[in-house]
A = this chain, B = another copy of it.
Amino acid sequence: MTVTALLGEIADVGRDGRRGGYSRHGFAPVEGELRTWFVEQAQRRGLDVRTDRNGNLWAWWGTPGPNAVITGSHLDSVPGGGAFDGPLGVAASLSAVDLLRSGGFQPGRPLAIGVFSEEEGGRFGVPCLGSRLMTGSLDPDAARRLTDSDGITLAEAASSAGVDPARFGRDDEALADIGCFVELHVEQGRAMDLLDDRPSVAVASSILAHGRWRFTVTGVGNHAGTTEVPDRRDPMLPAAAAVLAARRALGGRAGARATVGRLTPTPGGTNVIASSVDFWLDARAPEEAPVREVVEEITAAARAAAAEEGCELSVRQESFGDTVLFDPALRDRLAAELGGVPVLPTGAGHDAGILASRVPTAMLFVRNPTGISHAPAEHAEPADCEAGAAALARTLESLCRDEP
């Protein structure tokens, strides 16, 4: 099946009428629907599907075992996200299996498609939840206690989705089987499209150091009409100061990004001075040091504004991942075998970035004509998607021919 046909099958699952695009969150019924779809697709291809301790799915072609070649991606989305971030890699993996099989290929190494849980952190705040749990970079106790915006814990959500949260944790058995991992993904910038030949496929070189910080400003909730300025302790003011500081902090720091895209005043009434405001800072840079500097600068601005308004500020790191340099040998080999495609860095995090600390890992990107991602306008041309699946098939075939 083509990538376009596969994505067409799930085009109506998890549409978000309010935000536009898709809201497909980890361990939610909509993600469950997508996982069921994946399992059916895998079974139609004779793949043997297993769920690991952390809720990740593995569809095996051949007997599971050491030195396996793994591809795959994720099915969840950010709130109001696009159709490609995640599902493109899953659909391309299924399509690549079809291409390999129609060519009469039989893998000489175990081959599997992995589907990772809650890659976006759109529900529980920690991105790459499934791969972080598997590699041991996220403490399972801390993970079980994570809550979504309705106060449901990850432990509860996992149980509802049929995954036993008591089994969460570093999965050395699963990791021991992975010989290498290749994730195909839509590009999330416009670097490929701006190249003269607008290539369909590129290979990833690196991922920015990046993390998430939750800021909570606590003031005093009160009546918007009766509370005069000297009596106000309005947490919206320090929050607004931090949003502006996030932009200022980027000045002179090449490649740094800082974003506040989620901000929630409590209680959130028009005629009510908020009692508290939570907001989340996403900060990234080529190395860890400038990320820390940016966060410190924004924290200092928020703290000064909070003090001025008589509010309290607390800041908590929700996740951090250092700069990822993908395996240089694998990167160069893939780029060469695919005909000298470009090698590009990315500012986006991926499960591949988490697995890169444990196994040789690579990524293929498919061109994004506008560069927009994490939004309904995210796009990839059908021809580029099919070219991506073909490139992935070629890569998997080559990797499976390696001697262990």
Contact = CB atoms under 8 A, between A and B. Distances in A.
B374 A223 contact: yes
A259 B221 contact: no
A121 B374 contact: no
Nearest to A212: B270
A375 B272 contact: yes
B220 A269 contact: no
A222 interface: yes
B267 A19 contact: yes
Given A79-B268, A270-B125, A282-B270, A257 B225 contact: yes
A269 to B, nearest CB: 4
Contacts of A78: 267, 269, 271-272
Contact of A259 (B212, B234, B347): B234
A171 interface: no
A226 B261 contact: no
A151 interface: yes
A272 B79 contact: yes
A316 interface: no
Interface stretch (A176-184, A238-246, A325-333, A334-342): A238-246
A43 interface: no
A371 B229 CA distance: 14
A337 B212 CA distance: 62
A169 interface: no
B241 A229 contact: no
Given A120-B269, A212-B270, A267-B78, A237 B244 contact: yes
A35 interface: no
A275 interface: yes
Contact of A18 (B16, B151, B255, B377): B151
Contact of A375 (B222, B236, B257): B222
Range, interface on chain A: 35 or more
A120 to B, nearest CB: 7
A189 B23 CA distance: 42
A23 B266 CA distance: 12
Nearest to A191: B226
A19 B152 CA distance: 15
Task: Count this chain's copies in the assembly.
Answer: 2
Nearest to A228: B257
Interface in A258-285: 259-275, 280, 282, 284
A23 B272 CA distance: 13
Given A270-B125, A271-B127, A227 B257 contact: yes
Nearest to A245: B240
Interface in A107-136: 120-122, 125, 127
Contacts of A255: 228
Given A240-B244, A266-B80, A267-B19, A272 B223 contact: no
Nearest to A122: B269
A21 B269 CA distance: 13
A28 interface: no
A404 B304 CA distance: 62
Contacts of A244: 237, 240-241, 244
A19 B280 contact: no
13 contacts: A19-B268, A79-B269, A80-B268, A189-B223, A189-B227, A210-B225, A221-B372, A222-B373, A223-B372, A228-B255, A236-B243, A236-B263, A261-B273
Q: Which 3 A-B pairs have the closest CB atoms?
A: A80-B267, A221-B375, A240-B243
Given A227-B257, A261-B271, 16 more contacts: A20-B275, A23-B267, A80-B269, A210-B225, A222-B375, A224-B261, A224-B374, A225-B282, A225-B284, A225-B346, A229-B247, A236-B260, A259-B271, A261-B270, A261-B273, A263-B263
